[in-house]
Amino acid sequence: MESIWITEMTFKPTGPLTFRRMPSGSLPIMSYPFMPPTTMSGFLQRLLIIAEGAQGEDGGEWPGYGEDWFGTGAKGKEKPPGKEFTLTLGKEFRTLGAYPQPNQWKIHKTRRHGPKNFQHAQFSQILREDHKENYQLHHWDYLFCDNLKGWVAARESRDLDRLRCLKNFGGKAGKEGYLYVAAIEPPRELFLQDGDFRPAGLAPAFFSPSSGTYYSLYGHHWSDEYLWKNGQKGGVDGFFQVGAWWNVNHLGGAYWALEPGFGFPAVVPDLFLRGDVELFYHEGQS
Question: What is the DSSP code (8-state) at residue 244?
Answer: E
Residues 22, 50, 120, 132, Cα dihedral to 10°: 130
Instruction: Give CA–CA dist 236/158, Å, rounded.
Output: 23
Expressed as residue numbers, the domain containing 113 is 3-275
What sign does the dihedral 229-232-237-239 (CA atoms) show?
Answer: negative
Residue 268 lies inside a defined structural domain of this protein: yes
Query: Could you give phi then psi for residue 52, rounded to 5 degrees?
Result: -70, -30
Instruction: Give CA–CA dist 102/265, Å, rounded.
Output: 19
CA distances from 115 to 26, 87, 118, 120, 228 (A): 11, 26, 7, 6, 31
Instruction: Give CA–CA dist 42/38, Å, rounded.
Output: 7
Residue 281 lies inside a defined structural domain of this protein: no
Residue 283 lies inside a defined structural domain of this protein: no
Task: For 233-272, write each residue's pLDDT tens digit.
Answer: 888 989 999 999 999 999 999 999 999 999 999 999 999 9
Residue 53 lies inside a defined structural domain of this protein: yes
Per-residue pLDDT of the chain in tens (286 residues, 90 and over written 9): 689 999 999 999 999 999 999 988 888 999 999 999 999 999 999 999 888 875 554 555 555 555 444 455 555 555 554 555 668 999 999 999 999 999 999 999 999 877 776 666 666 666 666 666 677 889 999 999 999 999 999 999 999 999 999 999 999 999 999 999 999 999 999 999 999 999 999 999 999 888 999 999 999 999 999 887 767 788 898 999 999 999 999 999 999 999 999 999 999 999 999 999 999 998 766 5
Q: What is the pTM of this model?
A: 0.86
Closest CA to 222 of 235, 233, 232: 235
Residue 125 lies inside a defined structural domain of this protein: yes
Structurally, how many domains does the chain consist of? Answer: 1
Residue 284 lies inside a defined structural domain of this protein: no
Residue 260 lies inside a defined structural domain of this protein: yes
Instruction: Give CA–CA dist 121/127, Å, rounded.
Output: 11
Task: For 88-131, write each residue's pLDDT tens digit.
Answer: 999 999 999 999 999 999 999 999 877 776 666 666 666 666 66
Closest CA to 238 of 119, 88, 102, 121: 88
Residue 285 lies inside a defined structural domain of this protein: no
